[in-house]
Structure 1
Amino acid sequence: MSKPTLLVLAAGMGSRYGGNKQIDGFGPNGETIIEYSIYDAIRAGFGKVVFIVRAEILEEVKDKFLPKLEGKVEVQFVLQSLEKLVPQELKNPERSKPYGTAHAVLCAKNAVKEPFAVINADDFYGLEAFDALGKFLSNGVQPNLHCMIGYAVEDVLSDNGSVARGVCETNEENQLLGMVETTNIQREGDKIISREDQVTQEIKPGTPVSMNCWGFHPAIFEAIEDMWIPFLKGSQNNLKSEFYIPTVANQLIQDGKAVVEILPGGKTWFGVTYADDKPDVIAALKKLHDEGEYPKQLWN
């Protein structure tokens, strides 16, 4: 069986961060967060990395990563744009917002033929997550069986503002029953609160949430494709609509067409939503280097 592929969602605009955080340096030697994910993925047996990027940053991303990864892993680049895979009659010239994570994955259809993981470029997931993904994608993956690394909600918040997370409902077999994309989640005193559309909701500690750390059989591309055009038709005049990976997962589960297992491995996470998150990420990465989890120079 071929080695699994790592699909990195790196086309984000970084609006709340104020820049291209996917190529910003956080490690002791200026390493990006993506580099740690790739390093861990290689250790976990992944054989290829596919970057999904915007055309505006493609050359900068190539210059940043290709010299470091040459000879270590196969690398490929895929562009996500507002026009890609959108029929002419369904385009809205007023739209400027990207179509979202499921559209990004669909853009990589011709580049990925093997089981693959999907991650965000600006999240640190930890070696345990990639070990779990690598084992699942190498041994347990089937056309109707996918996976997700679950993280406890209290472990994936920011001290600098609210965050959006996919709040999960699971069964006793740790299978996903459904997920709700929930925005404006933050700590308020000793509680975790979501305030959305004038509705206030408390989220219990220990509730699993999605950090966009998924494992898929390549059959997922066909499933996404089946939902893509109906999404466009239903949201053509909504300039802020997004086509999310959880939307696809929820639909497949509700239709009885797929099972999504919640894997253990969501132990270590940190990321950058806001510029004020950067010092904490720098300190966390330095600590991991000091403890020997990563070498002094990530790419020797």
Structure 2
Amino acid sequence: MMKPTLLILAAGMASRYGSMKQVDGFGPSGETIIDYSIYDAIKAGFGKVGFIIREEFAESFKAIFEPKLNGVVETDYIFQSYDLTPFGINKEIERSKPWGTGHAVLCARNQVHEPFCVINADDYYGYDAFEKMAKFLTSEAADDKYSLIGYQISNTLSDYGSVSRGVCNVKDGFMTEINERTEVYFKGDGVVYKENGEEHELTTDTRVSMNFWGFTPAVFAQSEPIFKRFVEQNENNPKAEFFIPLIADELIKTGQASFKVIPTSSKWFGVTYKEDKPIVQKSISKLVEEGVYPQNLW
């Protein structure tokens, strides 16, 4: 049986963090958040790790991860650039940031030939999520059946203010649509989101996407025309980004693929700002104290 591949989205600019948070140390032995994802993925049965990065990050990533992972798991490096000619788009479009997560996945089309999942570099997902995704990719995934890990919304919110979340509408275990809610927060014992100045309640077990998706390589051919159309529509908008949910929404609406929402009880946490670092360090220290992870992962 072919082992699935883990793709890690790490080409972002980290502008709000102020430095390369993808390789910042958070664990007791200087582990990055990526280290914990890779550790859980290997334990769950993934056979390869692909880092989607900008080419200028390559030496930094290799210096940090190769000494740890050499002989442990196969690694690969996929470069996300501004060059659109590989997609048959012969235009130079000025950009200050990459084209987004959906484009990042497309950049892997010549290097990934097995079922795979996609995660963010700066998010902690928990072993339960990797175990369930590995099971899906090895036993259920098909060219018209993909998946995403659905986190319980109350396990993803901050005690320090509102956040944006992709709220999933789910029917019979499959996503019917995903809506970006830009102001989601705790209110008393419940959860609300604000839209046009009005608060709307969400149940605490509402499922949200934290960008943990499962695909087969068929998604590359399915999503390339969607990306080309997006570029045509947004060539004069330098901030427009082609996100994975745009692909999912199109494939669902056109009937090309369904997306199973795999529920997880894992608690998610991530880092956006420098101020998040001590909170993440504390969360990881607690997991180490509880015996979830060793003091030194590698």
Give the SS at the match of 2:117. strand
Across the two proteins, how many residue pairs are aligned to each other? 296
CA distance in 2, matches of 1:149, 1:170: 12
Q: How far off is 1:174 after superposition?
A: 1.3
Q: How far off is 1:267 after superposition?
A: 1.8
User: TM-score, normalising length from structure 1?
Assistant: 0.93
Letter in 1 for 2:164: A
User: How well do the aligned residues superpose, as a CA RMSD in angstroms?
Assistant: 1.7
User: TM-score, normalising length from structure 2?
Assistant: 0.94
CA distance in 2, matches of 1:222, 1:199: 41
Residues 140-199 of structure 1 show CA distances to partners (whole Å, capped at 9, x for unaligned) of 11110011100122221233444322111111x210000022324334555544446x45
Is there any run of 5+ residues in structure 1 with no aligned partner, and where?
none
What is the percent sequence identity of the aligned residues?
50
CA distance in 1, matches of 2:285, 2:41: 20
Residues 255-293 of structure 1 show CA distances to partners (whole Å, capped at 9, x for unaligned) of 111110011224221111221111111111111111111
Give the SS at the match of 1:49. strand
CA distance in 2, matches of 1:45, 1:150: 20
- Mean Cα displacement is larger for which, 272-281 or 136-145? 272-281
Give 2:200's match in structure 1, choosing from 198, 202, 205.
202
Aligned residue in 2 for 1:17: 17
Aligned residue in 2 for 1:4: 4
Letter in 2 for 1:91: E
- Mean Cα displacement is larger for which, 160-169 or 23-32? 160-169
Q: Which residues of 2 match residues 2-81 of structure 1 at below 5 A?
A: 2-81=2-81
Letter in 1 for 2:76: Q
Q: How far off is 1:111 after superposition?
A: 1.1
Letter in 2 for 1:235: N
Contact between 1:91 and 1:236, CA under 8 Å: does it hold in 2? no
Contact between 1:163 and 1:183, CA under 8 Å: does it hold in 2? yes
**Stretches of 4+ aligned residues off by more than 6 angstroms:** none
Aligned residue in 2 for 1:280: 279
Letter in 2 for 1:112: V
Q: How far off is 1:223 after superposition?
A: 1.0
Is there any run of 5+ residues in structure 2 with no aligned partner, and where?
none
Aligned residue in 1 for 2:132: 132
CA distance in 2, matches of 1:185, 1:97: 26
Contact between 1:150 and 1:266, CA under 8 Å: does it hold in 2? no
Q: Classify 1:86/1:221 alpha carbon distance in 2 versus 1 (closer, same or farther; 3 Å).
A: closer
Contact between 2:5 and 2:115, CA under 8 Å: does it hold in 1? yes
CA distance in 1, matches of 2:92, 2:161: 34
CA distance in 2, matches of 1:82, 1:187: 39
Aligned residue in 2 for 1:225: 224
CA distance in 2, matches of 1:163, 1:208: 15
